[in-house]
Amino acid sequence: MTFIRNNAFILSILYWDISLKHKTDIVVIGAGPIGLFSVFEAGMLKMKCHVVDALNFIGGQCSALYPEKPIYDIPAYPSISAQDLIDKLEEQIKPFEPTYHLGQQVIGFHPQTDGTFDIITSKDTIINAKAIIIAAGCGAFGPNRPPLDNIESFEGESIMYSVRNKSLLKDKNIVIAGGGDSAVDWAIELSGFAKSVTVVHRRNKFRCAPESTNRMEKLIDEGKINLEAPYQLHKLHGAEGKLHSIDLIGFDEEIKNIQCDVLLPFFGLSMDLGPILDWQLALEKKHLSVSNETMETNVKGIYSIGDVASYPGKLKLILTGFSEAAIAAHNIYNLVYPNQPLHFEYSTTKGVKIDEKL
């Protein structure tokens, strides 16, 4: 899908009933934590937002894939679960009364002569906005599955790509495969909860925060976490959806069998930006190239923040995305209020009470 100005069919839908068109300052694509925080930053500058997400609920990956996963790098929270973070963000933006369009995907946009955009969704929702913020995370997402025979027969019962209910793992023999933040954080979190926790990784180095590695190594020394490295998953053993053990294989072809009730493979997510890839936006390895000074893409009025955005020195952290949301909102202010200079105030002098409606 390109700029849809040449698509007569879409345009006929677009202007079939102009009264059905919503009007707002900003359309935010993506209702994950970064998209939600952009609503707050916009609201602090008296800008209204409509939020579109393909999921039927807000929260993005945090709610869909790992609501109970602890997050350790949110300021003022030594630890907060992913879902609690989303709940707090929802509470924070409530005074700004965002409009949600959930269970639908933005399929295209049409630039207007006045510099605004008409945004069209898969449910024929039409929203006119002065700016677009793409906070799509990794887009439509799904787990990267390990190449194991018969893996589908165990998925959902003994093999889980996210932890949505930690209580189901109590007193289980848990095997966690992977070497990133999710694998290490969950190993730490479950070490005093599950019957046993074994981490399987193809090498001895981990791709996570150094402090997390230190915490896991301490738990390994205390015998609360077992580490199998360098090993990879090789074969599943079980029946009727229930695992009882897993074969691991080393680089020397050595096979080791370990007991396993639940396997948590954390090998990241597959990334699919869907129609956004066809929007004539500058791309770098399926990420949207933006100016780190404004967060604007190569198309005026379209901004990108969070994991989907790319620029030199980019750090893929939630707190980085929060900063990007502020930068984008402050630059969009000039589009929404072109003749009003922005007199910036700190949130400590311009706070909003939860029960206050603007």
Give 317 or 143, the one with higher predicted confidence.
Answer: 317
Q: Architecture of 145-267 per CATH?
A: 3-Layer(bba) Sandwich (3.50)
Least confident of 17-31, 36-50, 115-129: 17-31
Biggest CA-to-CA distance, the chain: 71
Whole-number average pLDDT of the chain:
87
pLDDT for res 229: 95
Helix (H) / strand (E) containing 227: strand 226-228
Q: Looking at residues 323-342, what average pLDDT do you find? A: 94
Q: Which CATH class is domain 4-141+270-336?
A: alpha beta
Q: Distance between CA 265 and CA 198 in Å, rounded?
A: 12
Residue 35 has pLDDT above 50, yes or no: yes
Residue 286 pLDDT greater than 70, yes or no: yes
Where are the alpha helices (H) located in 65-180, listed in sequence order? 82-93
pLDDT value for 156: 82
Indicate if the pLDDT at residue 175 is higher than 90: yes
pLDDT value of position 125: 93
Strand partners, 51: 28, 100
Burial environment of residue 266 by CB neighbours within 10 A (0 to 12, 13 to 18, 19 or more): buried
Residue ranges per domain, the chain? 4-141+270-336, 145-267
Calculate mean pLDDT across residues 257-286.
82
What's the pLDDT at 103? 85
Band (pLDDT 50/70/90 cuts) for residue 41 is: very high
The pLDDT score that the predictor gives to residue 345 is 63
Cα 292 from Cα 273, distance rounded (Å) = 21
pLDDT at residue number 9: 41
CB atoms within 10 A of CB 225: 24
Average pLDDT over residues 179-189: 92
Q: Do domains 4-141+270-336 and 145-267 have the same CATH topology?
A: yes
Supply the pLDDT for residue 36: 98
- Residues 91 and 321: their CA atoms lie apart, in Å, by 19
Neighbours of 350 (CB within 10 A): 10
DSSP label of 68: T
Task: Determine the pLDDT at residue 161.
Answer: 84
Q: Is the pLDDT of residue 1 over 80?
A: no
Confidence band, pLDDT 50/70/90 cuts, at residue 347: low
The predicted model gives 194-217 an average pLDDT of 93
What are the distances in angstroms from CA 261 to CA 10, 148, 172? 51, 16, 6
Q: Could you tell me the pTM of the whole model? A: 0.68
Average of per-residue pLDDT across 328-352: 80
354: pLDDT strictly greater than 70: no
Interval 161-183 mean pLDDT:
90
Instruction: Say if CB 195 and CB 175 are below 8 A apart.
Output: no
| For range 282-295, the mean pLDDT | 90
